[in-house]
Each structure stands twice: as C-alpha cells, then as structure tokens.
Amino acid sequence: MTIRIEASAAAPGVAIGPAWRYPRRPTQEETAAEHDRQRSSRGAVRPKLTKAQSVAAVTDAAHRAADQLTALADRLSEAGRGDDAGIFGAQAMMATDTALLDEAIRRVRAGMDPVEAVAESATAAAEMLAAVDDELLSARSADIRDVGARIGRILRGEQPELPERPSIAVADDLPPSVTAEIPAGFLLGVALAGGSRTSHAVILARGLGIPAVVGAAGLLEAVDAATDAAVAAGSPAPFAIAVDGSRGEILLEPSDEDIGIFRGRADELAKRTRRAAALRDRPGATADGERVALVANIGTPDDAPRALEAGAEGVGLFRTEFLYMTRLTPPTEHEQMLAYRRVMTAFGPDRPVVIRLADVGGDKGIPYLGRPAEADPFLGGRATRLADRPHDLMRRQLRAIWQAGALAEVTPHAMAPMVATVSDVKLLLQLRDEARDDLRSKKLPCAGKMVTGIMVETPSAAIIAAELAQMVDFFSIGTNDLTQYLMAADRGNASLSSLQDALHPSVLRTIAGVVRDADSAGIPVAVCGELAGDPAGALILVGLGVDELSADAGSLDGIRAALAAVTRAELDGLSTRALASVDAESVRAIVAPYLARLAD
Ligand code: PEP
Ligand code: MG
C-alpha cells in the first residue's frame, strides 16, 4: 500500500528508485556482535595502548581524515565541481582544528578511549554551533559531526557505507562526505527526516541536479516499518520510493499509477529546464525587450562560480554573515578583504557585487558579541543597530570593502540591512567616509568611490523611503523581513506560514510606494528577498517597476524564462490587478495564466 509523506521541497526534480537507508539499521545479530566487539576492543585497546600511543593514534587518524578530505576536494575540483570541493576543503581543516583535535587529545589524556574521545569532542563542537539558532550554522555543525565520524571510522579501521545500486537515500541527515563519495549515478534522490535547504548534503544534491526533500516527519519510522514488513513477507529487496523535490512529496511503495504521475512530472520538468537553460546567454528582459537585471544571492565566495554559470549579471546580495558565524572570535579585516576580493575578481568590473554588511544579532546570535539574551531577537539588537559596538563591526567591514575594491580594481558596492531611521543611514555614511579617510591617511589600498545602498526591509524604512532615497545610491527590498514585520508574523514560525506570503497585497502596496519614492529620487530599486526568485513574484515585482531581481543561482533560469514570456504592457496590467487584490491567493490566481505559458 502506498504511503504518502509530506516534506519540504529542497532541490527540484523527481526521482523513483529503491530506498537506501543511511545509516543501515543493524540486524539483531550484528547489534550483539558489535556489543561483543566493543567489549573486547576496549579490553584490547586499553591495556595495549599507552596514553601517548592513544594520543598518537588520534592525531594520526585526524591527519589521515584531513588527507582523505583534501583528496576528495581535489577530485571534485578536477571534475569541475569547485563549490562542492570547497565544502571538503573546509572539512579537511576542521579535522585537525583545535576545537576537535586538541579537545579529543585532552579527553584521551584524561583516560578516555580514542574513539569515544573523538566522538565526544565532535559532538561538543557541533552542539556549540547548533546552539546558535541559525540554519547556516547548523549546516556547519553537521560538517563537524561528519568529520568526527570519519576520524572514528579510521580509528576503527572501517570503510564508509555506500549504496550498492542506484538508489534514493533515506536518512535523518546525510553526512556531506557520504553524499560526495557515493559513486556517480548511484544517488537518484535524497529524502531526509531532518535537514534543511541549507544543509550541505542538500546543497550538494542541488548542485548535482539531484532532487531532495527535507523535514519529512515520520519518514524513518515508515521506511523501517515497510522494510520490516518486506522482510517478514520474505522479500529482502529494498522497496521503491518516489521523491518530488519541487513539491516536497514522498511516496513509499508507489502504485503503477503514482509512478506514471511522477514520471509525467519529471518529463515536464526536464522540458522546462531545457527551455529555460537555453536562455542563459541572454540578459534578463521581457518579451518586448525591456531589460531587468538578474543577479544572484550568494552566501559565501564558493557560491560565485555557480552564480556565474547560471548567467548572473552580478551579485545583488552577498550575505556576509558566514564570515562571522562559524567562529569564536570576529574575523579580521584582512580575512574579510580576501573573501570580498575573491568574489569581486570572479565577477569583474562590469558585474557589480553588492556586499551586504553583516546582518548579525537577532536570530543570528553570535557568542563573541557578548549580547544579552533578548525576548524578541527579531525586534532587538540586529545588524545596523550594532554598527559601532561592540568590536566596531561595521567600521572594520567597510574598511575591508574599500580595500577589496581597490585590490580587485572594481567599484565596491555595499548596503546596510535593517535600516529604520535617517540616523541609521547617517551613521552608515559617516562610518563609510571615516573608513576611507583613515585608509587614505595611512596610504593603504582604498577604492575611489563606494556605491552605497540600503535594504528596505523594515516598515519604517518603507514609509520614509522618500527621505532615505535622497541619501543613498540604491535600494534593495528585503521581502523576507519586510513581510515578517508588516504581517507581524515571525519568519521562523512554521505555524504562521500563511501570513508569511510576500505576495500579500499589503506587502505589494508597500513595495509600490518604495518604487515610486526611489523613482522620484532617481535611484534604482532591486528586490533580494525570496519573492524575487519565485516566477510569480518576479512578474509582479517587475510590473511594479522594480529594476533588478536578485535570487539564488538555481532560481535565475526560472525567472528569466517567466519574464521572457510576457510584455511590459501585460506586466502593467498584472501589477494593477495585484495591487487591487485583497489576499495573496487572489494574486497567485491572477499570475497563474502567465506562468502557464511556460508549460506550453
Ligand atoms: C530579506 O530580509 O528579504 C533578505 C534578503 O535578507 P535576509 O533573508 O538575509 O534577512
Ligand atoms: Mg533581511
């Protein structure tokens, strides 16, 4: 009987194949044998290995893990998968990092078994990162667990588990190195009970064009029960599972009819993807040739090649928080400069890279900021509100951007998040100019000018947009936060998802006002929230007069194709009707016929 499980869509596409459970559930006999093995290995290791030998074993295993990971990174790099290679380059560093290795050695010196010492140290480091309530950080936390598991396997002399046939991986969360080591063609899809769109296994899957779903509550229990039933019925072969990574759907043991439906969706998707990718060389434009710049949102310098490959005409949002979050002390100016310069150099002088000043604090709490806990972090000390305290975060970041621009020989672009007042902007401009003057007085590299903008993502900024537009070079509307603040619905609260729809007319009418004020001041307006990457949102936004859309690399083909199928006059009509609507559902219904053209 088919079991249907709801999940969150994480990487588009449809796959059908045998389920491969990771980690494999041990049989009862294996559990008993492992128990015996652990007892005897404890007995064997302890008397045989002195503390010094145990320290040497852990150190050696950590370095071997680092070597394996470096080799994996090199292989991926040679295969033209530079972004994925970056994940394992970072893991290689973690393997011998003090947080993991020194801690494990400390535990071994205190008398702990080497395997346990590594596992405990990895868990402690991972939990520390996971405690900072942030998706990006929990992804790093999964990396540390993955590295710890690898060192543990080396100490125990084991090989990693890999599927024996092309399969769909079913797991709580799939370690990234397992994902990368699965031989080409053996990973058809990924279905995770946990995970998130930003876990590395999912990023890897997306990069490889493999469909993935995450957050599938009850998945593992259902798969285990189905496996037990199959074994009881004398059928040891794994059963089939179907995954729709575009809709967030899983079917266990799909019927022939279900398989037919999923195959149909796969064919339709393949057709659309081929058609959309064929437009990549063309800049973003409507059917009648009105230009709309299509630029990318990136999170780290490693995202730059994928964005370029997707035809990004620049970077509209470089979220720089990654530099601040996976560490225990603030990043140095030099470190920041290198990261910014790398992206600026990759995009060159004609494709601007907008560096968003660190949006830290709020839900992206950082231990070294030493901030007190706040009852409502989203309404608390966040981003620009932390500009000149503590650690001079904004001043240092602006200095790094001035220098990176000079060294990459481009005009640097920067924007401040969470602006609410005229004094927020005055402080931004003051710190920007002080940073420039200081660099010049010290004869350090410094660009000639910095194009400076702000994110419009608080209701206050939208309401005083006319005044703010006089002070800056551009606006970029952050629809994710703007929606949460306008609708008074915490963007992280899954139970409020119906209120978090940025197509709600109250959000659209606010955007229309911001565009009007920006036009009057003669400055361009971009949108860099998720709405820009949604084809329905893209059409409405361009209809409202937005000049530039900034979205994940994976969304650019879809919005380029949607725009190429409509004329300016149609978009005008569309946005007028959307503004007159009363809810997000009506807006979606108004756009649907235009999107349906893409299916023809
Ligand atoms: C936004 O708020 O829309 C935005 C793009 O910024 P972030 O999602 O990083 O808060
Ligand atoms: Mg925001």
Judge if pTM exceeds 0.85. Answer: no
Residue 48 reports pLDDT greater than 70: no
CB atoms within 10 A of CB 116: 15
Q: How many helices (H) and strands (E) does the chain have?
A: 23, 16
Counting ligand 1 atoms within 8 A of each CB, the residue from 480, 483, 484, 549 with the most, and so the one to mutate, is 480
* Residue 77, burial from CB neighbour count under 10 angstroms (0-12, 13-18, 19+): middle
**Per-position DSSP letters for 139-185, written without gaps between them:** HHHHHHHHHHHHHHHHHHT-PPP--SSSEEEEESS--HHHHHHSPTT
Mean predicted lDDT score pLDDT of the chain: 87
Catalytic residue status for 528: yes
Q: What is the mean pLDDT of residues 279-301?
A: 92
Counting ligand 1 atoms within 8 A of each CB, the residue from 297, 303, 318, 359 with the most, and so the one to mutate, is 359
Residue from 413, 446, 504, 528 carrying the catalytic annotation: 528
483 C-alpha to center of ligand 1: Å? Answer: 10
At 159-178, the pLDDT tens digits run: 767 888 899 999 988 887 78
At 469-494, the pLDDT tens digits run: 999 999 999 998 999 999 998 876 65
Q: What percent of the chain has pLDDT over 90?
A: 50
Do residues 49 and 198 make contact, with C-beta atoms less than 8 angstroms apart?
no
Distance (Å, rounded) from C-alpha 330 to C-alpha 77?
A: 29
Task: Dig out the tokens for 431 from the structure.
Answer: 């710190």
Cβ neighbors of 131 (< 8 A, separation 6 or more) are none
455 C-alpha to center of ligand 2: Å? Answer: 8
Q: What is the mean pLDDT of residues 584-599?
A: 91
At 187-220, the pLDDT tens digits run: 999 999 987 765 667 777 876 778 999 889 899 9
Cα separation of the two ends of the chain: 35
Q: What percent of the chain has pLDDT over 70?
A: 90
In a 3-state reduction of DSSP, which class is residue 527?
strand
**Per-position DSSP letters for 417-442, written without gaps between them:** SS--SHHHHHHHHHHHHHHHHHHHHT
Nearest CA to ligand 1 atom 10: 481
Residue 46 reports pLDDT greater than 50: no
Per-residue pLDDT at 290:
97
Nearest CA to ligand 1 atom 4: 478
Q: Highest mean pLDDT range out of 222-236, 391-405, 533-547, 585-599? A: 533-547
Catalytic residue status for 35: no
CB atoms within 10 A of CB 443: 7
Atom number, ligand 1, closest to the C-alpha of residue 479: 3
Query: For 547, phi and psi rounded to 5 degrees?
Result: -90, -25
Q: What angle do CA 147, 152, 153 make, to 5 degrees?
A: 100
In a 3-state reduction of DSSP, which class is residue 318?
strand
Cβ neighbors of 181 (< 8 A, separation 6 or more) are 72, 160, 162
85 C-alpha to center of ligand 1: Å? Answer: 27
User: Which protein residues touch ligand 1 with a CB less than 6 Å away?
Assistant: 317, 319, 359, 457, 478-481, 528-529
Per-residue pLDDT at 243:
96
Nearest CA to ligand 1 atom 6: 478
Do residues 556 and 538 make contact, with C-beta atoms less than 8 angstroms apart?
no
Sheet of 187-192, strand order: 3-6, 249-252, 240-244, 14-21, 167-171, 187-192, 212-214, 8-11
Query: For 510, phi and psi rounded to 5 degrees?
Result: -65, -45
At 297-349, the pLDDT tens digits run: 998 888 898 899 999 999 999 989 878 865 667 888 999 999 999 999 999 99
CB atoms within 10 A of CB 442: 8
127 C-alpha to center of ligand 1: Å? Answer: 25
Q: How does DSSP classify residue 240?
A: E
Nearest CA to ligand 1 atom 9: 319
Instruction: Work out the pLDDT band at 44, boundaries 50, 70, 90.
Output: very low
Do residues 222 and 19 make contact, with C-beta atoms less than 8 angstroms apart?
no
Nearest ligand by distance to the CA of 492: 1
Q: What is the mean pLDDT of residues 35-47?
A: 56
Distance (Å, rounded) from C-alpha 385 to C-alpha 259?
A: 53
Distance (Å, rounded) from C-alpha 422 to C-alpha 407?
A: 32
At 53-104, the pLDDT tens digits run: 889 889 989 988 888 888 888 877 777 777 677 788 888 888 888 778 888 9
State the helix-helix crossing angle for 135-156 and 200-207, rounded to 10 degrees.
90
Q: What is the mean pLDDT of residues 569-598?
A: 95
Per-residue pLDDT at 400:
97
> Where are any strands of DSSP class E within 253-337?
293-298, 315-319
Radius of gyration of the chain (CA): 26
Residue from 200, 413, 446, 504 carrying the catalytic annotation: 200
At 341-377, the pLDDT tens digits run: 999 999 999 999 999 999 887 666 676 777 777 888 8
Task: Tell which wins on pLDDT, 127 or 358.
Answer: 358
Counting ligand 1 atoms within 8 A of each CB, the residue from 455, 456, 552 with the most, and so the one to mutate, is 455
Distance (Å, rounded) from C-alpha 254 to C-alpha 5?
A: 11
529 C-alpha to center of ligand 1: Å? Answer: 5
Atom number, ligand 1, closest to the C-alpha of residue 476: 5
481 C-alpha to center of ligand 2: Å? Answer: 5
